[in-house]
Amino acid sequence: MFYNTTFAPAFERERRYKMMKQTFRKKSSEIIWKFKIKVLIFAATFAKRKRQKSSLRDLHNSTSSTSIGEEIFRIDTVKEV
């Protein structure tokens, strides 16, 4: 009887505390992994969009300079005639 009234509640509290701690760690780990996955997906998508924008910008710049070059060539040929 003495054992049940003095030590058992402390052991029970300790057991519950350990279970809660383990559950918290497990859930925290799941949350962290979900966050890491989202960050990796976002980073990959962001990098892909940045490359696409850069490619479009380069394409636009190259077509613009080509058009300007063609205009200069056309003007030069017209002046010579």
DSSP helix, strand, coil percent of the chain (3-state; round to 5): 95, 0, 5
Torsion over CA of 37, 40, 41 and 43, rounded to 10 degrees? 160
Name the pLDDT band for 26 (thresholds 50, 70, 90). confident
Greater confidence, 66 or 14? Answer: 14
Looking up tokens 């925290």, which residue turns up? 28
Residue 3 has pLDDT above 60, yes or no: no
Share of the chain above pLDDT 70, in %: 57
Collapsing DSSP states into helix, strand and coil, what is residue 7?
coil
pTM value is 0.39
Q: Which residue has the higher pLDDT, 30 or 8?
A: 30
Domain residue spans of the chain: 2-80
Distance CA 68, CA 62 (A): 10
Long-range contacts of 8-13 (CB under 8 A, 24+ apart): none
